[in-house]
Structure 1
Amino acid sequence: MAETDAVADLLVVGCGIAGLSATVTALQAGLKTITLERSTEAEFGGGTRWTEAYLRMKNDSEVSDDFETVFAENAGANLDPNVIVAAGGGYDDWPSYVKAHPFPDPELIGRFAERAPLTIGWLKEFGLKFGPQPIYLLTQNTTRIAAQGGGLALIERLREEAIALGGELRYQTTAIDLLRSADGTVEGVLATGPDGRRIEIRARNTVLASGGYQGNSEMLARYLGPVAAHIRPVAIGGYQNKGEGIRMMLAAGAAPSGDFASYHAEPVDPRSHMAEAVIHIWPYGILVNKRGQRFLDEAPRTVDACYDPISRAIAYEPDGIAYVLFDAQTEEIEGWRRAIRSDVPAIEADTIEALAVKLGLPVEAVGRTVAEFNAACPASGEFKPFEIDHLATTGLVPKKSNWARPLVKAPFRAYPIIAANCFTFGGVKVNPDAQVLDCDGKPIPGLYAAGETMGIYHQVYAGSTSVLRGATFGRLAAQHAARHHNVPA
């Protein structure tokens, strides 16, 4: 048997924004905490360490006007109208199948929208700053601010506070299973320590904030299918997210939530060593696959509203790769280089045919694709790079809906693009207090989830909400645990 070596009021698994928000909140409430992190101390923080931490807010005290709407519009395809009608009533009256339904229910998203500004206010108490920041998206359909110093600043400051308040942080320690009492209450986790030996860490309440499964090839293949072979984490922190937290909660009877067969994707240059080496210039050119063919509408909406599904579509093309072709007319767009974050230069040539040769693409097919695209571009109309201009192709399949200009001015340039996995969508169902629900919609005693372990995304990612989700629900979990700390079980 594994040795029991510690007992805590709150055990937190994961040391990113969700886990540290839970840890510090609990410590401020006077609880004894233990926080586990699978990585080394130098690499702690999972995906949060690498993100720029954009937040879907108008300012540091108000969420965006479309915050709740974007979740409602992407709550899942073909939702049962009976579920929608039932969800319109009081939460206490919802049938169990609605409480456990994988969609992001309005009660949950309403709490998220309400508490996100309060969470930012709490983070500001530690000297962290938020406000408008330069962004690589040249067009946007919502409002955003960002944390100064990005996600790294958030987790470094919260870890500092956790240590100052007496929290215990254990690195190279991985939770592998839940400990449960005879009546099903979660009482901590079975973990492996730095030496690989198993230990039991017991706690009155447990928060699993250990990330998604973007770093687990087996889980990706199981849920995404063969396309999983074509994607990789957007930053090396993603490799730390192996999905154990989600797996052990499902094994304990938690209701699945979110879209397990999808993920938040970003279009990156596969040649680059950089985190988030995004390439967002493709709305002003065309995308071709290894056959030299276009395969989708490159500009159906502003780039922030469509890069997620377009990136995922690239993964389904041969070898999971595409190439953006654009010409020197792009230089007329002010700040266009901001849309390219790769440290590897574009491939350039004086002709489309020479560019195809350099890319290793079929020259005749690429030439034909570009010629057909050029012929389909409108002969009149104003090109407006920073707004929807309806400058669309005619008679071309697939259509390009905006910013369609012929590729005619040398030098011609290209970047390879693959879909990178920021985080997976599948997780477990939680209520507005971040308690994990079973398949009957009932809270599993002693168990909470925050961040990527909780599933709220379907279809298109609600951009710039993931860091907010982690911080907000990490705090909600710890606040609920603190309120009930002295309540008899």
Structure 2
Amino acid sequence: MSKSVIVVGTGNAALCAAIAALEKGATVLLLEKAGKDLAGGNTKYTAGAMRFAYDGNADLLPLVREQDDPRLPKTDFGSYTKDKFAADLLGFNDGRDLSPEQKVLVENSGDTMRWLASHDVTFEPIYSRQSFEKDGKHVFWGGLTLAAENEGVGLFEMEMAAVQRLGGTVRYDAEVTGLIEDQGRVIGVQVGDESLFADSVILASGGFEANEEMRVQYIGAHWDKAKVRGTPHNTGDGLRIALEVGATEYGFFEGCHATPMDLHMADFGGLDLPPSERKNYRKISYFLGVMLNAEGKRFVDEGANFRNYTYAQFGRAILEQPGQFAWQVFDSKVFDLLYAEYCFHDAHFVEAKTLEELVPLMTGVDAVQATQTLTEFNSAVDMTVPFDPTVLDGKGTRGLTLPKSNWAQRFDTGPYRAFPVTGGITFTYGGLKVDGAGAVLREDGTAIEGLFACGELVGGVFFAGYPGGSGLTSGAVFGRKAGIGAVC
């Protein structure tokens, strides 16, 4: 007799858990808090990029749908080894060793991508955001190369199609309000007044980023001002009901994925827009210019590293500035390098022919100090090093207390543009402790029988930041493990 599994959620992690459980012969029911139009959790809001370990083009090409893309023979994807992935994660650990969860992510990342491909989840190279043309070749940078076809929306649709092909069913408008226990074992869930029973329950309902009270409680006072980039339904429900049955908090609750976002965006990424357009409120080309706070001062090294490795921290840094906003300033020399979201129809910016005309247009900024900051920046740019956005080019500033380490260019070619930004939260880092099979653990290290978790609910994966594209991969890796663990 097949086992029955309830999966709470329909995002990437939930769908991967469902696919894995269905593969093992289980009967699977997915319960989605939202209606059908907002199903998919945060997955639909993403650009679909997935970071994983690979040794070269030969590992990537079988995952790419358009095998006849004329750019492929002229593309250098480089390599991204497990050691490099591990080193990148360590770079955000603030001195911590790799956690057990991070080791699992690194070790299983490549195999999980191939597993997804075996279920007709297809990918495409991220030419527009992760490569530059150099010497007639498309050169990828930062170890991030592939995204799901049609980005996050496509990932959701392809994974949902796999679930349905395998016989899984979904109920929408089905908010899980509690877990049902019998002698210490979880045997089902409550959906309002309705009791639903199963051999195992997998919590894949996201973090608490859409819960203002929990953001302030766990992350800090200014986080009530954060724009919620993703779904309004990730309000910490899974965390709450797991703690009620004895689970323990685990991971870095003060941390979260925070991204520079348009200051004037609506909360939840613009629910009136098609899902594929909601990501366009991001503003992550700051490395091509500078960011100024209300005091007219720079507050981060915009060129410290590729933006994959800095945007999560810089979104947080913006929220720590006076008024929780900043302005990103660009010279026209880089307009053609700015990501597409800077040309989005709802992008907010000011433009002027000269810096003297631009600065007063930057609402809320000390104009005198901003002018001084830009003048000093121009004088400090090292003009002996060529600008090269495909590498850490070392074209930095000299003599500034806060340097710009790479891609520093003078503001000397008008017109100039400035974009108002704030910090947007995408997902939280604190969650639950799970074992190698995805079972939720109590504080004493014993497993809560019948209860599993994956996705944002797995703590210990990220700390002070994360390399871009790791979140979806983590969801897939731990979702697959939870799906198998719930059946075996």
Task: Give the TM-score range, shorter chain.
Answer: 0.7 to 0.9
CA distance in 1, matches of 2:367, 2:159: 54
Contact 1:144 1:464 in 2 (8 A): no
* CA distance in structure 1 between the partners assigned to 2:216 and 2:480 by the alignment: 32
Query: Aligned partner of 1:69: which letter?
Result: A
Q: Deviations over 1:95-136 (max 9, x none)?
A: xxxxxxxx732xx43433343333333322332212422243
Amino acid at match of 1:64: Y
Equivalent residue number for residue 104 of structure 1: 99
Flag the 1:403–1:163 CA change in 2: closer, same or farther, 3 A. closer
Q: 2:149 corresponds to which residue?
A: 148
Cα distance change on mapping 1:56 and 1:243 into 2, 3 Å: same
Q: Provide the secondary structure at the position in 2 that maps to 1:265.
A: strand
What's the TM-score once normalised by structure 1's chain length?
0.84
Partners of 2:483 and 2:384 in 1: how far apart?
59
1:202, CA displacement in angstroms? 1.9
1:64 and 2:69 aligned = no
Name the SS of the counterpart of 1:279 in structure 2. coil
Alignment gaps of 5+ in structure 1: 1-6, 85-102, 193-197, 484-489
Partner of 1:340: 342
Equivalent residue number for residue 315 of structure 2: 311
1:461 and 2:466 matched: yes
Q: 1:41 to 1:323 in 2, by over 3 A?
A: same
What does residue 98 of structure 1 align with?
A: none
CA distance in 1, matches of 2:419, 2:173: 38
**What is aligned with 1:359?**
362
Tell which deviates more after alignment, 119-128 or 35-44.
119-128
Alignment partner of 1:275 out of 278, 295, 301:
278
Q: What's the counterpart of residue 478 of structure 2?
A: 473
- Aligned counterparts of 1:468 and 1:383: Cα–Cα separation in 2: 32
SS in 1 for 2:278: coil
Give 1:211-222 correspondences, 5 Å limit.
211-222=206-217
Aligned to 2:436: 432
Q: Does 1:224 align with 2:228?
A: no
Q: Give 1:310 deviation, angstroms.
A: 1.5
Equivalent in 359, 378, 381 of residue 374 of structure 1: 378
**RMSD between aligned alpha carbons?**
2.4
8 Å CA contact 1:190–1:199 kept in 2: the answer is: yes
Q: How does 1:157-306 map to 2 (within 5 A)?
A: 157-182=158-183, 184-192=184-192, 198-235=193-230, 237=231, 239-272=232-265, 273=270, 274-276=277-279, 277-306=281-310
Match of 1:45, SS state, is coil
Separation of aligned partners in 1, 2:160 and 2:466: 28
Residue 410 of structure 2, aligned match among 381, 406, 410: 406
Counterpart selection for 1:124 from 117, 125, 141: 117
Partner secondary structure for residue 375 of structure 2: helix
1:261-307, Cα deviation, whole Å (9 max, x unpaired): 11111212233544222223322221101222222221111221212
* Secondary structure of 1:386 counterpart: coil
Does residue 452 of the first structure (1) align with residue 452 of the second (2)? no
1:137 positional shift:
4.7
Alpha carbons 2:264, 2:348 under 8 Å: kept: no
Closer, same or farther: CA 467–341 of 1 in aligned 2, 3 Å? farther
Quote the offset at 1:147 in angstroms: 1.3
How far 1:338 sits from its partner (Å)?
4.4
Quick one: structure 1 residues 109 and 380, their matched pair in 2 at CA, closer, same or farther if it must change by over 3 Å?
Answer: closer
What amino acid does structure 2 have at the position aligned with 1:359?
M
C-alpha deviation, 1:55, in angstroms: 1.3
Distance 2:462 2:389 in 1: 30
Q: What CA distance in whole angstroms lies between the structure 2 residues aligned with 1:341 and 1:434?
A: 42
User: Do the aligned residues in 1 keep the contact of 2:318 with 2:324 (CA within 8 Å)?
Assistant: yes
Does the aligned pair in 2 maintain the 1:255–1:441 contact within 8 Å?
A: no
1:386-425 pair list within 5 angstroms: 386-425=390-429
Q: CA deviation at 1:376?
A: 2.2
Decide whether aligned partners of structure 1 residues 280 and 109 sit closer, same or farther in structure 2, where only a CA change above 3 A counts. Answer: closer
Q: How far 1:73 sits from its partner (Å)?
A: 3.8
Cα distance in 1 for partners of 2:35, 2:126 equals 30
Identity of aligned residues (%): 29
Alignment partner of 1:47 is 2:42: yes
Q: Which amino acid aligns with 1:241?
A: N
* C-alpha distance after superposition, 1:56-107 (max 9, x if no partner): 13344899312233334434x354xxxx6xxxxxxxxxxxxxxxxxx732xx
Q: Secondary structure at the match of 1:340?
A: helix
Q: Secondary structure at the match of 2:487?
A: helix
Q: Are 1:385 and 1:403, in contact at CA under 8 Å, matched by a contact in 2?
A: yes
Out of 15, 20, 29, the residue aligned to residue 25 of structure 1 is: 20
Shift of 1:325: 1.2
| CA distance, structure 2, for counterparts of residue 190 and residue 359 of structure 1 | 51
Query: Equivalent residue of 2:127, what SS?
Result: coil
Equivalent residue, structure 2, for 1:95: none
Q: Letter of the 2:87 partner, please give it.
A: T
Q: Would you say how many aligned residue pairs link Structure 1 and Structure 2?
A: 442
Hey, what's the Cα distance between the residues in 2 that align with 1:279 and 1:394?
27
Matched, 1:9 2:4: yes
| Alpha-carbon contact 1:138-1:339 (below 8 Å) kept | no
* 1:38 and 1:174 in contact (8 A); partners too: yes
Aligned residue type for 1:302: F
Residue deviations 1:9-47, cap 9 Å, x none? 211100111112222322232222221101101221011
